[in-house]
Amino acid sequence: MADIVSSEEEIKEVQEQLVTPWEVEAKDGGKIDYNKLIKEFGCQKVEPEMVARVEKLTGKPAHPFLRRGVFFAHREFDKILDAFEKGDKFYLYTGRGPSSESLHFGHLVPFMFTKYLQDAFKVPLVIQLTDDEKFLWKNIKLEETRRLARENAKDIIACGFDINRTFIFSDFDYVGGEFYRNMVRIAKCVTLNQVKSIFGFVNEDHIGKVMFPPVQAAPSFPTSFPQIFGDEKKSKKIRCLIPCAIDQDPYFRMTRDVAPRIGFQKPALIESLFFPALQGESGKMSASNPNSAIYVTDTPKQIKLKVNKYAFSGGRDTAEEQRQFGANIEVDVSIKYLSFFENDDEELERIKQEYKTGKLLTGEVKKLLIDVLTKMVEGHRQARAAVTEEMVDAFMAVRPLPGMFD
Ligand code: TRP
C-alpha cells in the first residue's frame, strides 16, 4: 500500500491540516499549505516543462489554469502525455456530487479545465454524478438528489462539452453490469482498516459510507463503459486521466493502489487548488453560506454587492495609504479570482503591478473583477438556457460515442 497514507505519524501530520473529500481545514485558520499536501499525499508538482510539453503536443496554448498553476499537482500525467505522443488512447473522467441547486465558480473550475482538455486532446469523457454519495452524506431525500443531478447536468453541459465525446451518468441510474462488476472487484481489495485510514471513517459511521468509495473508483477503469470502449480485450489498455480538485485524491489513491491487482492501469490525475471563499483563503467555499461564493445564478446586482461587501482585500485602509504603500496582493481575494478568470496574461500582470504599487485602489480592482464575473455569468446563463431536456437525455443516454477519438 505504498500510495496510501498509513503510518501513525503521517496520519497525525494530515490531521494538522485536514483535507478529505468532505472537509477542508487549514491549520489554525490559516492558508492551506499545498506543498505539504503534495508531500503528504505523495503526488508530483506540475512543472513548467510539463506545461510546455502539453502546448507542444496539442499545438495549442495551455489553459490559463495550467499556465498559472491552478492545476498544480499530478500523478503520472507524464505517462498520459507519453501515451498521447505515441498515439495510444486515453479518456477523461471527472464528476460532481449534486448537493445544491446551482453551481458556484469553484464548482465550474474542474469542468472548464476538463472542457479544455477534451478539446485540446480530442478524447472521450465520462462525467459521474454522485447522487448516491450526496444521499449518503447529506441530509437530502433520495429523490431530491436525483433531481439535483439532472439540474446540475444542465450547468455542466452549458460548459460546452462535445456530445459526440461525452457521457454523463447518474450513479442511481447507471450502476450495474460491468460497472458493478468492477466495483465489487475493487471492494474485495480494500480492507475496513484501509478505508478508515484513507477517509477517516469511524466505527459509528453507517456502512453506506464504507460502501461508496468503489462507486467513485469504478469509472477509472474503461471496462466500466463497454458501450463506449468495447469489450475487455479492446478497452483494457486505454488509460484514464482524472482532472479534479485535490480533495478527491483519497479516492484515487485507493483506486491506484487496487488497479494493478485487478489487472488495470492506474488512473492518472491532474489536481487543482481549492477555489477560495470570498472571505479569504483558509479553505474551500461553504455551501451553507451563500455569501461565501459567487453562483452562476447570481444577478449582476448580487455579484456587485458580494464582491464589494465580502471579497477580502489586501489593500490599505485609506486611499492615501494605498497610494503610498500599495496592496498585499498575496491575500487579496479579488486578485486571486482575477488570476483564475482574467484570461489576458498581460492585463492580469498590469493589474497586479499597479495594485501592488498603489496606482490602483481596492475599489478599482473590485470593479475589474465584477466586470469579468458578470460577463462569465451572463455567458453561462445564456448557454444554460439553451440546454433542453432532450439534450440532457442525449448526454445521459447509454450509447457508443461516435468519433470519440477523431
Ligand atoms: N465526489 C465528488 C464530489 O463530491 C464527485 C466526483 C465523482 C468526482 N467522481 C469524481 C470529482 C471524479 C472529480 C473526479 O463533488
- Distance (Å, whole) CA 404 – CA 18: 39
- Report the nearest-CA residue for atom 11 of ligand 1: 95
* pLDDT the model gives residue 338: 98
Close Cβ partners of 370 (under 8 Å, ≥ 6 residues apart): 303, 304, 307, 308
Taking only the tens place, the pLDDT of each residue in 351-389 is 999 999 999 999 999 999 999 999 999 999 999 999 999
The total of other beta-carbon atoms located within 10 Å of residue 336's CB is 22
- Report the nearest-CA residue for atom 7 of ligand 1: 95
* pLDDT the model gives residue 285: 61
366 C-alpha to ligand 1 centroid (Å): 31
* pLDDT the model gives residue 1: 39
* pLDDT the model gives residue 283: 57
pTM for the full model?
A: 0.94
Q: Is the C-beta atom of 133 inside 6 A of ligand 1?
A: yes
* pLDDT the model gives residue 76: 98
248 C-alpha to ligand 1 centroid (Å): 7
Q: Is the C-beta atom of 283 inside 6 A of ligand 1?
A: no
- The partner residues of 125 in beta bridges, in order of sequence, read 92, 166
**With a cut of 70, which residues of the chain have pLDDT below it?**
1-15, 28-29, 282-288
95 C-alpha to ligand 1 centroid (Å): 4
53 C-alpha to ligand 1 centroid (Å): 27
Taking only the tens place, the pLDDT of each residue in 174-189 is 999 999 999 999 999 9
Q: Is the C-beta atom of 220 inside 6 A of ligand 1?
A: no
* pLDDT the model gives residue 11: 47
369 C-alpha to ligand 1 centroid (Å): 28
DSSP tag of 203 = T
- Report the nearest-CA residue for atom 6 of ligand 1: 95
* pLDDT the model gives residue 404: 84
Helices (H), ranges, 87-141: 105-121, 131-137
- Distance (Å, whole) CA 384 – CA 99: 19
* Cα separation values, 27 from 20, 73, 222, 275, 395, Å: 14, 20, 38, 17, 41
